[in-house]
Structure 1
Amino acid sequence: MTVPPLFDHLDIDDEDQLRRDTALQEAELEATAGPGVDDDMRSARAHPRLRAWLHVEPFYWTMRVVYVCLAAGAVFAVYINGVAEGWWHAWGEKPSVAATTPATQPTPAPTVSSEAAMSGGYQIGPDGVLVRPAQYAADTYTKPELPDEAKENTERGAELAAEYVVETLTYAWNTGDTQPFADITEAGESFRETYIGNIHNLYAHGWMYDNSTTITGIVSVEPVTDDKWGAQEGTIGIIFKATTNNGTACVGQRIIKSDTSFDVTLLFFMTWKDDHWTVTGGSVSRDGQ
């Protein structure tokens, strides 16, 4: 917007009045001895000039006020328009989350998480059982082998065969593979069937790793001749002292971890049958119980 010069707003009457006032001032000066001759006369002559100043100056001040008001109005109009358009906030208004969020912003649609379900640091498998850690997988355990000397019909052979039984039982707990243990034990024997059943039940709903048994001493290796034991002919009784630890077991989504080892006594009846040693009886008892 272009602001015109102030004098463009003076009308013809204002210009005539200005000329009359000027002529009057000149006539008054000619009728006197000039400025400074008589102070009383100077005071009387000041009234026409004052009237002329009062007549002109208020007009100029009025125009200045008008221009100031116009400028203030223009600024206020820009301010109001800015508030309406959201360029800035109204005076004294505190921005809020609701005010700064576009009303048309779409709500994010829920997404399906690609992360596997977890429980206690373990992933839950599709069957609802915790997934066994890969570093303790069954294939990380080596299947035990029967020593050649354990294939001989001697007390030493029976002793080594009994040690192999311990290894196959530990292997079965850690892998779920009970076949090596079943192969060296007699079918239908309660010791054999109890342990195979317990291991199969565990692996139907879970797993185990880090189970261990260490033979710490040999108590007895001798033939069983007393009928009271009901042993088969050609049986040698083996008694070991050992330390065992159950390791970590999973039952469904429950983890059972053994942090301590305990002492046990192992008893095996090793019977020479069909040219190899077979367990025809056995038991495991915890010492001190």
Structure 2
Amino acid sequence: MRVGAVDWGIRIAVVGLVIGGFYAVYVNGVAEGWWHAWGDTPTVAATGPTAAPTPAPTVSSEPAMSGGYQIGPDGVLVRPAEFAADTYTKPELPEAAKENSERGAEAAAEHYLALLVYAWNTGDTQPFADMSSPSSQFASAIVRDVNTRYDSGWTYGMESNITHVLRVEPIEANGKDVPEGSIVVKYRVDSYDGTYCTKTKVHTAASRYKSTFTLIMTWRDGQWIETQGRFAGDE
């Protein structure tokens, strides 16, 4: 019996030493941070990406643009300053156009064409209208078309140059649309429509074109005025 009691005592002592060893390792591990103490809940650090705040939209102070052109307050593209209407000089009536002669009618017709081109490039139709008969359908159509263009756009770079004089001669009055003292003048002209804008669309002509320009110039109240006109294109 005594031997058995000693043997159990030794076993109990060994178990106690083992438990003590485990406890010492546990305590040391907690101290060193190898594991958490019993009953502690570990905190989890967020490792995912953080959402950056969305910046508030900024209002640009730059003017609205379309195709490289600034859009004006009326919704029409702003005409480039280097091609402004005031860069065009109003044609002056040549001295020859003040003569009541065939040469005077020819010079007046040349001036009339220059006023037509000036009207398209500036929007100023008054000089052209002043040299036209109120009954001229040709002149009325030109004035209407130019005004329509400038109501919602502009034109610059338009040209129409005389290349040949085809006819200059008196025409007999008919009591209707050909008054007394009229001379018919017919030219060959080379034209280019330039760059033109309608609201927010700009178009630049790709090529020149040729046509025949016919005018009936009438001597009235000491000056030549247009009473009939017509462009006839080659195509």
TM-score, normalised by the number of residues in structure 2? 0.79
| Aligned residue in 1 for 2:32 | 72
Paired with 1:142 and 1:76, the residues of 2 have a C-alpha distance of 94
- The residue identity in structure 2 corresponding to 1:72 is E
What percent identity do the matched residue pairs reach?
A: 45
Q: Larger % of helix: which?
A: 1
Is 1:182 aligned with 2:129? yes
Unaligned runs of 5+ in 1: 1-57, 90-94
Deviation at 1:221, TM superposition (A): 0.9
- 3-state SS, counterpart of residue 231 of structure 2: strand
Residue 121 of structure 1 corresponds to: 68
Q: Distance in 1 between matches of 2:97 and 2:24?
A: 122
Which of 151, 171, 175 is the matching residue for 1:224? 171
Residue 242 (1) aligns with residue 189 (2): yes
Report SS of the residue matched to 1:142: coil
CA distance 1:123–1:75, change in 2 (3 Å)? farther
Cα distance between partner residues in 2 of 1:101 and 1:230: 82
* 1: CA distance, partners of 2:174 / 2:22: 138
- Please list the CA deviations of residues 70-117 of structure 1 after superposition, one character each: whole Å capped at 9, or x if unmatched: 55328989xx78x75x7xx5xxxxx52xxx446xx5x43333222222
Which of 161, 166, 173 matches 1:214? 161
Q: CA deviation at 1:244?
A: 0.9
- For residues 174-219 of structure 1, give each alpha carbon's deviation from its aligned partner in whole angstroms, at most 9, with x where no partner exists: 1100011112111232111111111111111111111110111100
Q: Following the alignment from structure 2 to structure 1, what is the Cα–Cα distance between the partners of residues 202 and 29?
A: 83
Name the SS for the 1:135 alignment partner: helix
> Over alpha carbons, which structure has the higher Rg?
1
Question: For the Cα contact (< 8 Å) 2:173–2:180, is it kept in 1?
Answer: no
Aligned-CA RMSD value: 3.0
For the residue of structure 2 that corresponds to 1:207, the secondary structure is: strand
Greater relative contact order (CA < 8 Å, ≥ 6 in sequence):
2
Q: Partner of 2:169: helix, strand, or coil?
A: strand
Q: Residue 202 of structure 1 corresponds to which residue in structure 2?
A: 149
Counterparts of residues 136-285 of structure 1 (less than 5 Å)? 136-225=83-172, 227=174, 230-285=177-232
- Please name the residue that 2:9 is paired with: none
Kindly indicate which of the two structures has a greater share of residues assigned to strand.
Answer: 2
d(CA) in 1 for partners of 2:162, 2:176: 24
In structure 2, the residue matched to 1:14 is: none
Deviation, 1:168, is 0.4
The separation in 2 between residues aligned to 1:192 and 1:225, in whole angstroms, is 22
Aligned mates of 1:136, 1:129 — CA distance in 2: 16
